[in-house]
Amino acid sequence: MLEQLAEIICNYIDIDPDEVKSGVSLRSDLGMSSLDMINMAVEIEDTFNISLPNSEIINISTVDELIKYIEDNK
C-alpha cells in the first residue's frame, strides 16, 4: 500500500517516491498544501474504493495516519 500511496502523492507534488515513508509528515516533510491533500483524497477514494471526506483528509498529518485511515475504512 505504501508504494501505491507514494505514486498517488507524487501525482500532486514533485518529489521522489522514495521520500514517501512511514512517519513522514505530508505537510511539513513533503510540502503538501491543503489543496493538494483534498485533490489527492479523490484519487485515494477511487484507488482504494473508500470514502475520504475533506473533513477527514485535512486532519491526517502523516503517511502512517493515511495508511491507517485507508485500512480502517476498506
Smallest CA-to-CA distance from 1 within 32, 44, 42, 33 is with 44
Identify the structural domains of the chain with CATH numbers, from first to last.
2-72 (1.10.1200.10)
Question: What is the model's pLDDT at position 33?
Answer: 95
In sequence order, the 6+-apart residues with CB closer than 8 A to the CB of 4 are 47, 48
Cell of 48: 482504494
pLDDT for residue 13: 95
Let me know if 12 is exposed, middle or buried by CB neighbors in 10 A (0-12, 13-18, 19+): middle
pLDDT tens digit sequence for 20-62: 999 999 999 999 999 999 999 999 999 999 999 999 999 999 9
Q: What is the pTM of this model?
A: 0.91
